[in-house]
């Protein structure tokens, strides 16, 4: 008898689960249908700011596979503009609404993957539902922003200086708009430590972005139905277009209403195989919580890398194989104007919250041999546990070579290496790409020296 797998959400996690399940089980054994409420499945959400900024010329360049390609190559049916509005796990069916016609119908399932992703945070403030206030999460959101830009707004304000907020500030500046960036924290990218975040502010200001940190939005002024200004405790900022970069929240409403357990981080709770607490119901992507391998706490981190891997694990298991997702350490990188910015593991604040006593070192180095043309500055921060020297986190800001170097730290942290062990790694060297002592090794050396000099009777990490 043919089983039926239904996937709710047609982007990275959902379609990775579907295609991996298909590899394990043919269409005679497993029928697969995916419901996607947007107009496009399987696309690069991370590329949206670059499309808005004109770096990527065509929306279609961000699309990985179309519904027709999924049908032809994988025997997977993808129904776009179909929104799942209710799941009944006991009956094994769900209610789907066709967003073009409004018609609703019941769809049965034997196996279910919930891959509903995340939704942009919207402040619960006066005027927050006005026209001209937009989030950035889907290709359709990107299309809406591009249409707004055709109105030639005079005052563009980005609220929130996380990854999306920063990338959108740069994208809009590239398009020639005057941009003001408002951030509640003392510096952009609150996931960085303040000394590293200050470098991001410098990069933004160099290209003309007005950066205002330590600013809390109190409300939005509305003229007619459109936003006209943003009110803070001490000032008013004119705004005829507002982009929200306040981060995202796991989209778990469907799962919660269906009786699926939600974890303490706010994401759907799963085991290592991506199974929920409901039989035959799986979850993957930005809607789930993950185990952090350093803090040993549940976390919700919305990254496409995690989503693809979690979808792969769910699909392999549904397809009859065996796979587990071992957790995350929060490795991420972005480009903000001339600066590449990356982090992995825990910041000093996060490490302290997790109960670690830490030492850290910040070093200034160069991306290439000093005598080789084109060498640029690089700042590296390494964080280690004081009592053991185990690496806990790292942050890097520079103009080039940042991603390669943060990945070295990520590998070391993933494998619970100490700073002393890392500084002896046999890394590649050639004058055009690195100094003799790569900056990551210099940072490891400095923090290892601090561990040695600061050793004392302190509590161990939990």
Q: What is the CA radius of gyration of the chain?
A: 23
CATH number of 338-454: 3.50.50.60
Condensed to tens digits (0 to 9), the pLDDT of residues 413-451 reads 999 999 999 999 999 999 999 999 999 999 999 999 999
Residue 241's nearest CA partner among 229, 253, 225 is 229
Residue 230's nearest CA partner among 318, 128, 161 is 128
More confident residue, 163 or 259: 259
Superfamily of domain 122-246: FAD/NAD(P)-binding domain (3.50.50.60)
Asked if residue 265 lies in contact with residue 287, where contact means CB atoms within 8 angstroms, the answer is no
Condensed to tens digits (0 to 9), the pLDDT of residues 369-403 reads 989 999 999 999 999 999 999 999 999 999 999 99
| Alpha-carbon distances of 330 from 166, 287, 407, rounded to whole Å | 18, 16, 11
Clarify whether 213 is annotated catalytic. no
Is pLDDT at 221 greater than 70 in this prediction? yes
What's the N-to-C CA distance of the chain in angstroms? Answer: 49
Q: Where are the alpha helices (DSSP H) in 397-454?
A: 402-414, 419-423, 439-454
The yes-or-no answer to whether 3-45+63-118+249-318 and 122-246 have a common fold is yes
> Which helix or strand (DSSP H or E) is residue 55 part of?
none
Q: Is the pTM of this model over 0.85?
A: yes
**Cα separation, 290 vs 307, whole angstroms:** 11
**Cα separation, 338 vs 114, whole angstroms:** 38
The architecture (CATH level 2) of 3-45+63-118+249-318 comes to 3-Layer(bba) Sandwich (3.50)
Q: What band does 198 get if pLDDT is binned at 50, 70 and 90?
A: confident
Condensed to tens digits (0 to 9), the pLDDT of residues 38-95 reads 998 888 888 999 999 888 988 889 998 999 999 999 999 999 999 999 999 999 999 9
Spans of all domains in the chain: 3-45+63-118+249-318, 122-246, 338-454
**Cα separation, 76 vs 18, whole angstroms:** 7
């Amino acid at each position: 008898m043919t089983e039926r797998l239904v996937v709710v959400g047609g982007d990275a996690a959902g379609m990775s689960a579907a295609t991996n399940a298909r590899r394990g089980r043919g269409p005679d054994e497993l029928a697969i249908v995916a419901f996607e409420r947007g107009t496009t499945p399987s696309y690069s959400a991370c590329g949206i700011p670059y499309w808005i900024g004109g770096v990527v010329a065509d929306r279609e360049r961000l699309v990985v596979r179309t519904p027709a390609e999924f049908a032809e190559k994988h025997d997977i049916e993808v129904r776009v503009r179909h929104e799942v509005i209710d799941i009944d796990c006991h009956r094994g069916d769900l209610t789907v609404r066709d967003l073009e016609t409004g018609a609703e119908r019941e769809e049965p399932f034997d196996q279910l993957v919930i891959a509903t992703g995340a939704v942009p945070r919207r402040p619960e403030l006066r005027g927050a539902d006005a026209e001209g206030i937009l989030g950035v999460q889907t290709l359709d959101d990107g299309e809406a922003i591009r249409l707004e830009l055709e109105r030639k707004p005079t005052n563009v304000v980005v609220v929130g200086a996380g990854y999306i907020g920063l990338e959108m500030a740069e994208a809009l500046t590239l398009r020639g708009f005057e941009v003001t960036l408002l951030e509640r924290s003392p510096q952009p990218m609150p996931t960085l430590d303040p000394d590293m975040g200050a470098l991001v502010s410098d990069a933004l200001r160099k290209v003309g972005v007005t950066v205002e940190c330590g600013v809390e939005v109190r409300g939005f002024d509305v003229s007619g139905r459109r936003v006209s200004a943003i009110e803070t405790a001490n000032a008013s900022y004119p705004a005829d277009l507002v982009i929200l970069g306040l981060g995202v929240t796991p989209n778990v409403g469907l799962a919660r209403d269906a009786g699926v357990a939600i974890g303490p981080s706010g994401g759907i709770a799963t085991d290592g195989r991506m199974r929920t607490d409901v039989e035959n119901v799986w979850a993957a992507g930005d809607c789930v919580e993950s185990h952090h391998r350093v803090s040993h706490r549940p976390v919700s981190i919305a990254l496409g890398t995690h989503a693809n891997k979690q979808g792969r694990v769910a699909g392999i298991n549904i397809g009859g194989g065996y796979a587990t997702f071992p957790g995350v350490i929060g490795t991420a990188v972005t480009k903000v104007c001339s600066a590449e910015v990356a982090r992995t593991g825990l910041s000093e604040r996060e490490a302290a919250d997790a109960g670690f006593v830490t030492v850290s070192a910040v070093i200034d180095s160069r991306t290439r041999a000093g005598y080789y043309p084109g060498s640029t500055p690089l700042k590296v921060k390494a964080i280690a546990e004081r009592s053991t020297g185990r690496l806990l986190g790292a942050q890097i800001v520079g103009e080039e070579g940042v991603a390669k170097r943060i990945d070295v730290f990520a590998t070391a942290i993933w494998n619970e290496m100490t700073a002393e062990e890392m500084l002896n790694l046999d890394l590649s060297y050639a004058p055009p790409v690195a100094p003799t002592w790569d900056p990551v090794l210099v940072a490891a050396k400095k923090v290892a020296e601090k561990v040695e000099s600061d050793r004392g009777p302190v509590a161990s990490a939990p």
